[in-house]
Structure 1
Amino acid sequence: MRDTSEIYFTIVLATIFFLVLVAVVVTAVWRYYYRKRAHEKTLMEFDHTLLQSRLEIQEQTFKTISQELHDNLGQMLTLAKLNLNTLNLADSDKSKEKINGAIDLLTQTIQSIRDVSRNLHADIISKIGLVQALESEIRIIEKLGILHPVFLVEGQPVPLETDKSLIIFRIVQEALQNVVKHAQATMLEMRINFAPDEIKLSIADNGKGFDWAQSKDKGSGLRNMNDRARVIGAQFEMQPAATNGTVITLTIPNT
């Protein structure tokens, strides 16, 4: 009888051990597939955000080029043509002045065409890096003449992955567009600080501030910037400035 009880006890104990082992294995397998699916979802989200950022940067580039051709290049070529058309060869001094003026205009036009050609390059960020790409964006805003932009770089720039740089650039591009279109600002300061553990990028203006709640488009823009920041593991914040205007801060950990 005692032997039988011991056998039953052993069987029950073995069964419990087996069930616990099965539960542990099933849980481990489930956790593995759950993490795998979560990782795949994160990669898909990153790829989607990257593709969307590329398309939006290209669209914005074409808009900028179109505006440059219409407002700048066309005007300079027209002025150069007028200078040459009104030449009076009998008056050598005035003719020389007009020719020199036309040469200056054509020189500026050539430089503008080079800038346009550089912006057309699909891999501009991978070629010149994030800092120079941001500086180029500031120069574009400066040419508009709407406000006075300042770009500051602090610390030693560190190389970033091209895909991450592209998404950061698109966040900045959208933030700058919002300042130009909606803030009614006269001053803008973009500052990028390279620290050992993080990169902090801030955009401050002295405008009226943004009322995102009252604008569907603006709210969508804010969500887009926030979502893009989350995809690359960055933190996005938008706060009122100390006096007036708005400060946008993007904090990217160095990983």
Structure 2
Amino acid sequence: MGRENISSYIIQSQEEEIKRIALELHEGVGQSLYSVFNGLQFIEAGLEQPHLKNYLKEMSHIMEKTIQEIRILSVELHPPTLMTLGLLQALKSYAKLYTSTFGIEVVIGSEGQEQFISESSSITIFRVCQEALSNIAKYADTSNAYISFQWSKESLHMVIKDDGKGFDLGAKRSYGLEAMKERMFLTGGECVISSKIGEGTSIEISLPLS
């Protein structure tokens, strides 16, 4: 088995495990916590002692926050809309979650007719966008990010960019950036990263569709 096949196999195995964990978080742990949350609210409604009522209300708030955090984690691990509604809608949903978490507005534009993309390719592009947005939140020092889709029957071209601080590509090797390039290479696509200090960063990805 060659290097490319080994890398592809490892990534596929990781994604299958991530999908399993995400499903368990959402349908297992999340649903159990929601049942406990409903039980706490039921008990709170029947209590008459103010101090116990306030205590249970506080516990309910903590439980509600925990349920929301698990839902967010589940979506980050494996978005349920990716294969049901497609890559574009999955990224729009994720962008809302990202904005509420980091306060960075993500503007998404799309030109052309959205095409079918295999599950493995959709996951690859989604992971690249996740990594790019994560880097923007960590390093860019900006309040805006932009994702553009250009669809044709033959290919998908995307740009993820920001107008933040930028960085020197030659200063140090980044595992995250290398992983983005490797993922796109293994799925038959390409990832080109450019950045200038003071002018922001741009990540261009392309994927043949035919």
* TM-score with structure 1 setting the length: 0.56
Q: Partner of 1:195 in structure 2?
A: 152
* Aligned residues of 2:180 and 2:191 also touching (Cα < 8 A): yes
Correspondent of 2:190 among 226, 235, 245: 235
Q: CA deviation at 1:212?
A: 4.7
Q: CA deviation at 1:213?
A: 4.5
RMSD over aligned CA atoms reads 3.8
Alignment CA distance shift 1:238-1:133 (3 Å): same
Q: Which sections of structure 1, spanning at least 5 residues, go unmatched? A: 1-36, 70-76, 82-108
1: distance between equivalents of 2:180 and 2:116?
22
1:210 and 1:50, CA in 2 relative to 1: closer, same or farther beyond 3 A?
A: farther
Identity of aligned residues (%): 23
Q: Following the alignment from structure 2 to structure 1, what is the Cα–Cα distance between the partners of residues 169 and 73?
A: 35
What is the deviation of 1:57?
7.7
Q: Which residue of 2 aligns with 1:119?
A: 75
For 1:204, give the aligned amino acid: K
Residue 134 (1) aligns with residue 96 (2): no
Q: What is the CA–CA distance in structure 2 between the aligned matches of 1:57 and 1:248, rounded to whole Å?
A: 26
Q: What letter matches 1:209 in structure 2?
A: G
More strand by share: 2
Deviation at 1:211, TM superposition (A): 3.5
1:51 aligns with 2:13: yes
Unaligned runs of 5+ in 2: 31-36, 42-64
Q: Is the 8 A contact 2:166 2:201 kept in 1?
A: yes
Q: Is the contact made by 2:169 and 2:194 (CA closer than 8 Å) also made in structure 1?
A: no
TM-score normalised by length of structure 2: 0.67
Q: 1:55 to 1:206 in 2, by over 3 A?
A: farther
Whether the 8 Å contact between 2:168 and 2:195 is mirrored in structure 1 is no
Amino acid at match of 1:119: V
1:32-71 correspondence runs (5 A): 42-53=4-15
Q: How far is 1:199 from its partner?
A: 0.3
Q: Secondary structure at the match of 2:86?
A: helix
In the other structure, the counterpart of 1:5 is none
User: Shift of the alpha carbon at 1:41?
Assistant: 5.1
